[in-house]
Amino acid sequence: MKPDIKTIISILSSKGHIQYNQESISQLEHALQCATLAETAKANNELIVACLFHDLGHLIHDLGEDAANKGINDHHEYRSIKYLKHLFGEAVIEPIRLHVEAKRYLCATKPNYFSSLSPASQQSLELQGGIFSSDTAAQFIHQPYAKDAVKLRIWDDQAKVVGFKTPDLKHFTQIILEEGKRKKEEERNKKEKVDGDSNSNQL
């Protein structure tokens, strides 16, 4: 399935009332808190959009709302990017893809990070492969966009506050559309380059 931007905004809006894992807030509240933390930290628009949609995968599977409580890893990061990769560039997609591994990295490299996680996040960590070894952590952080994924992850773990005031989803619509436009421009430029190279080879 290749939904358009209007559809993914609608999914977040219409299904966002679902409880966020075993936390005391909804999926939409969590997404808006995460994006607001990124905006407050003056993150770029790509990372703000990544924060907004990083957990979209939780809303599009058929495993039930309490998959983690049943011992099921819903692989939500991959479900998310399957819906988003044709709409946004790598600076949005890669932090989303890596944000679960970023938790494993932070628990391996930051003293007391694991103990700072909510019980639900600690539980899901085990389903997601557990804490990285030192070697794996070193390999992880050298990947492109890994540092952005770590930023996303920290905001992700902070974005679970009952009553936290945020802008509504409409506040972020313009930058979502701008990032979608950026992706289209990248695809158009890539096509023009391929066509240009092809024509040059025929001369």
Quick one: pLDDT at residue 120? 82
The string of pLDDT tens digits covering residues 131-168 is 999 999 999 999 999 999 999 999 999 999 999 999 99
**Alpha-carbon span 60 to 80, nearest angstrom:** 8
- Is pLDDT above 90 for 198? no
Among 18-22, 41-45, 197-201, the minimum mean pLDDT is found in: 197-201
Amino acid at 202: Q
Quick one: pLDDT at residue 61? 67
Average pLDDT, the chain: 88
Sorting pLDDT into bands at 50, 70 and 90, what band is 60? Answer: confident
What is the full DSSP assignment across 53-80?
HTTGGGGS-SS-TTTGGGT----HHHHH
- Is pLDDT above 80 for 65? no
The rounded Cα 71 to chain-centroid distance in angstroms is 22
Is pLDDT larger for residue 192 or for residue 10? 10
- Tell me the CB-side half-sphere exposure of residue 153, using CA atoms within 13 A: 27
- Is pLDDT above 80 for 194? no
Quick one: pLDDT at residue 179? 94
Q: How many CB atoms lie within 10 A of CB 130?
A: 11
- Is pLDDT above 60 for 29? yes
- Is pLDDT above 90 for 186? no
Sorting pLDDT into bands at 50, 70 and 90, what band is 73? Answer: low
Domains and CATH numbers, the chain: 5-198 (1.10.3210.10)
The pLDDT of 42-66, averaged and rounded, is 86
Sorting pLDDT into bands at 50, 70 and 90, what band is 183? Answer: confident
Amino acid at 14: S
Quick one: pLDDT at residue 67? 54
Angle subtended at Cα 82 by Cα 185 and Cα 108, rounded to the nearest 5 degrees:
105
- Is pLDDT above 90 for 70? no
- Is pLDDT above 90 for 62? no
Among 20-34, 137-151, 168-182, the minimum mean pLDDT is found in: 20-34
Token pair 């966009």: residue = 145
Quick one: pLDDT at residue 2? 83
Judge contact between 23 and 120, C-beta under 8 A: yes
